[in-house]
Structure 1
Amino acid sequence: MIALNSPIKPNLKKLQKYLEKVNNNGWYTNFGPLHDELTDKLQEYLGVQNLLLVSNGTVALQLAGRALRIKNLVTTPFSFVATTCAYKWQKDIVSFVDIDRKSYNLCPEAVSRALDQDTALDAIVATHVYGNPCDVEAFESLSNEKNVKLIYDAAHTFGVKINNQSVLNYGDASTLSFHATKVFHAVEGGAVVFKDKQHFQIAKRMINFGIEPGKGIVETGINGKLNEYQAAVGLVNLEQMDSVLQHRAELFSQYTAGLQDVVELPEWHSKANFNGAYMPIKLKNSQQASKLIQKLTESNIQSRAYFSPALDSVFTDCKNHGTPHSDAVTDGILCLPLHVDMTNKDIDKVVNKIKGSGVV
C-alpha cells in the first residue's frame, strides 16, 4: 500500500527525555518551559517574530480574527472546511469570491470587486493552497488601499519562502496547523504569526481566558493554549525538519517532472520554494477523477478528491460573488500520495500507473 499520507514519527528516545522533563517540572500546560522553548526555536527556524502557539489550527484562525477585531470577511471557497467553519462558528459574516484559475488561490481581482461592491467587508482571509503562496504583493496592496485586515490560512506552508523570506511574514496574521497530517506536527496544535506585537499580546491574553497577569480578567477569552506534551513532540520533530522538507520537495519535483505533460498542475508562485505538502493534479472532470481513483486503488495506491466539495456549495447561506473557476477546479481535483516515508520508486510507480491507466 502506498498511503496518501504518513505523519512523521517523533524519535521515541528523544521524546522520552522531554517527557521526563515535563514530569520533573510538574508543569504540564499554561505557557510552560517546553512551550517557550518551542516558540523560540520555531521563530528562529521559520524566520518570524510574534509567533503564538495555540491548541490547534482552527483556534489559530479564530484567534487571528478576534485579535484583529474582524467581523465581515471575504474568503476562498477552495480550501479545507476549517477555513470557513472557524469564522462561521463565531458568527462572523463570510462571503465567497472566486479563485485564480491557474494557481487555485484566492483571486486578488475578484476580491477587489467584492470589496467595491460590499463596503461592510473588513477583512480578507486567503489560503496558500497546497503550500503554494498567494499573490501576496497584490493582496498587500489591496489591504492597504481598501483599509481591510489581511489574514492568511498558511496551514500548508511550513518552511515555504518567497525570495528567501518566510511566507508567514506577509499579512496582518498568518495561521499554522500542527495537526499530525501536516508537514510539521505536534500531534495537534497550531500557531499564529502576527505582524504587530500589539495583536500578539491581545491574542496571548485571549487564549488564557482573557486574563492579563497582574490585572486579572480584562476581556472575554477562551482556553487555546498548547500543552507541554504537545510541545515535546514539536521539539523532537523540529530536529528532523531540514531532511523532511528536502525529501518532500524532491518527491514533489519528481512528480511534477513526470506528470506535467499528462495532467493539469497548479501554477506555482515563481519566487517560492516547495515544501512538498501536497501533490494536486486536475483531471477533466470529477468522473475522470473517480475513474483514476479506482484504478489507483486497484494498485493499492491511495488518493483523494481534495478539496471537494467547494465550500460555497456547503455554506449556501454565505454571500457568493461568483465562483466559476473554483467550480471548474473542484470538478476533477485529486491529491496523490506524498509524505516523508515515500521513495523515488514509489513516485515512479504512481506516475507510471497514472500514465498506463487508460484514464488520462
Structure 2
Amino acid sequence: MITVTRSTLPPLDEYVAYLEGIWQSAHLTNNGPLCCELSTRLKSNLGVPRIELLANGTLALQLAIRALGLRGEIITTPYSYVATTNAILWEGCDPVFVDIEPHSFCIDPDLIEAAITGRSSAILATHVYGYPCNVERIQSIADRHGLSVIYDAAHAFGVRLGARSLLEYGDCSTLSFHATKLFHTVEGGGVVCRDAVVANRLFLMSTFGHTGEENYQEIGINAKMSELHAAMGLGVLPRVQEYIDIRRRCAGWYDQLLAGLPLQRPHVEPELEYNYAYYPVLFSSHEVMMQVRKALLEHDIVPRRYFYPSLNTLPFLRPELRRPCPISESVAGRVLALPLSTAVGYDDVCRIVALIRDTLEDEGPAARA
C-alpha cells in the first residue's frame, strides 16, 4: 500500500541511546535536558530567536491565542485543518471566515479588511501546504487596525521566504510535530513568538502557570513536551534536509509526469525555499476528483482530501458563523494530496500518474478544467 505520507524514524539504536540516558537520569518531563537541547537545536536549524515546545500543535494554537490575550472575533481561513478553527472556538472566540486566493489557496488579503469589526482582535492565517500567505500585506492590514497576527505554520517547517524563515512573520507562528509531519516528535508542537514577553507568558501557561513550587504567575495548564518525545525529535532533526531532498526529487517526478494534464497546482513564489511537505493537485470538478480517488484506492494507493471540508461549513458552527466562501468550498471539493514521502519511489509515481491519466481520459471532456 502507498499512503499519502509515511512517518520517518531515526535508527533504532540511536533512539535507544537517548532512552538509556533518560532511564539513567529518571528525568522524564518538566523541561528536561533533552527538551532544552531540542529547543536550542531547533532555534539554530530554523533561524528563529525563540521557540516554546509543547505537547501538540493544537495546544500551540490555543496557547498562542491565550498568550496574546485575544477576545471577540478572529479573522481566519476556511481552508485549513479543523484544528485551526477548533482552537479559536475552544478559546471562546468567534471565527470570522474570509475566502482564499484561487492561486495559492491561502487567505485572500483583499477580503480581510472588509471583515474587520469593532470585535476583531486578530488574524489567524494558515500557510497552506507550507506555501506562504501574503505576509507583508497581512501585517500591513493588522498594523492599521491594531490586530495581532498568528500563523498556523503546521506545514511550514524549514520554509524560507527570501532570506528569512517564514516562521519569523506575525506575532506567533505555531508548529505541529505530529508523526505525519516532515519533522516530528511523534506527538508535539511549538510556538515561535516575536516578543519575549509573549513567549514567557506562553511558557508559563504551558507549565500550570508557575515556576518552582511556589511562584504562581498565570492561569496555566499542562502542555509540556516529554523527554521521550524530545528524544525522537533529536533523532529526526539531523535528517530533515535529507528528507526534503528526497521529497523534492519525488515532487519533480510528479511535475514531469503530470505535465499537460488538466490539473491545477498552487502558485509558488520565486523566492520561496520550500520544504515539499505535500503535493496537492486540483481537479476540474468534485466528480472527477472522486473518480480519480476511487481508481487510486482500488489499487491500494491512498491519497487524502486535504483539506476537506471547507471549515466555514462545519456542522457544529453557529449559523451566523457559516459565511459563504465559494472559492474555499470549491477547492476543498476538488483537491487531492498525492502520496509524497521518503518511501515513494519513481516507479510508484509512474504508477500513480498512469492511473490518474487513464481516469482523466475515461472522463473525457468532464475532466478538462
Bigger CA drift: 86-95 or 142-151? 86-95
In the alignment, residue 14 of structure 1 is paired with which amino acid? Answer: E
Q: TM-score, normalised by structure 2?
A: 0.94
Give the Cα–Cα distance (whole angstroms) in 1 for the partners of residues 164 and 85 of structure 2. Answer: 27
The residue that corresponds to 2:333 in the other structure is 331
The residue that corresponds to 1:257 in the other structure is 256
Give the Cα–Cα distance (whole angstroms) in 2 for the partners of residues 164 and 13 of structure 1. Answer: 37
Bigger CA drift: 341-350 or 209-218? 209-218
What's the secondary structure of 1:122's corresponding residue? Answer: strand
Mark the CA change 1:320 to 1:313 in structure 2 (over 3 Å): closer, same or farther. closer
In the alignment, residue 331 of structure 2 is paired with which amino acid? Answer: V
Paired-residue identity, %: 37
Gaps of 5+ in 2: none
The residue that corresponds to 1:111 in the other structure is 112
The residue that corresponds to 1:346 in the other structure is 348
The residue that corresponds to 1:5 in the other structure is 5
What's the secondary structure of 1:150's corresponding residue? Answer: strand
In the alignment, residue 23 of structure 2 is paired with which amino acid? Answer: N
Give the Cα–Cα distance (whole angstroms) in 1 for the partners of residues 84 and 216 of structure 2. Answer: 29
Give the Cα–Cα distance (whole angstroms) in 1 for the partners of residues 322 and 76 of structure 2. Answer: 10
The residue that corresponds to 1:85 in the other structure is 86
The residue that corresponds to 1:141 in the other structure is 140
Give the Cα–Cα distance (whole angstroms) in 1 for the partners of residues 171 and 336 of structure 2. Answer: 31
Deviation at 1:215, TM superposition (A): 5.8
The residue that corresponds to 1:267 in the other structure is 267
Give the Cα–Cα distance (whole angstroms) in 2 for the partners of residues 65 and 287 of structure 1. Answer: 38
**Cα deviations across residues 272-331 of structure 1 (Å, max 9, x unaligned)?**
122111111111222111111111122221112111111111143153554111112112
* Contact map agreement 2:309 2:329 (CA 8 A) in 1: no
Deviation at 1:144, TM superposition (A): 1.1
RMSD, aligned CA:
1.4
Q: TM-score, normalised by structure 1?
A: 0.96
The residue that corresponds to 1:297 in the other structure is 297
What's the secondary structure of 2:185's corresponding residue? Answer: coil
**Cα deviations across residues 95-126 of structure 1 (Å, max 9, x unaligned)?**
111011111001111111111xx121010000
Give the Cα–Cα distance (whole angstroms) in 1 for the partners of residues 20 and 196 of structure 2. Answer: 33
> Residue 98 in 1 paired to residue 99 in 2?
yes
Give the Cα–Cα distance (whole angstroms) in 2 for the partners of residues 213 and 231 of structure 1. Answer: 22
In the alignment, residue 286 of structure 1 is paired with which amino acid? Answer: H
Give the Cα–Cα distance (whole angstroms) in 1 for the partners of residues 248 and 325 of structure 2. Answer: 31
Give the Cα–Cα distance (whole angstroms) in 1 for the partners of residues 35 and 292 of structure 2. Answer: 44
In the alignment, residue 353 of structure 1 is paired with which amino acid? Answer: L
Deviation at 1:23, TM superposition (A): 1.1
* Contact map agreement 2:39 2:53 (CA 8 A) in 1: yes
Give the Cα–Cα distance (whole angstroms) in 2 for the partners of residues 294 and 337 of structure 1. Answer: 15
**Cα deviations across residues 29-73 of structure 1 (Å, max 9, x unaligned)?**
001000000000011011111100000000000011111111220
Bigger CA drift: 224-233 or 204-213? 204-213
* Contact map agreement 1:159 1:275 (CA 8 A) in 2: yes
**Cα deviations across residues 324-356 of structure 1 (Å, max 9, x unaligned)?**
111121121111111111112222221222112
* Contact map agreement 1:50 1:196 (CA 8 A) in 2: no
Give the Cα–Cα distance (whole angstroms) in 2 for the partners of residues 339 and 169 of structure 1. Answer: 26
Bigger CA drift: 245-254 or 226-235? 245-254
In the alignment, residue 77 of structure 1 is paired with which amino acid? Answer: P
What's the secondary structure of 2:273's corresponding residue? Answer: coil
**Cα deviations across residues 222-256 of structure 1 (Å, max 9, x unaligned)?**
00000000000000011211100111122123223
Gaps of 5+ in 1: none
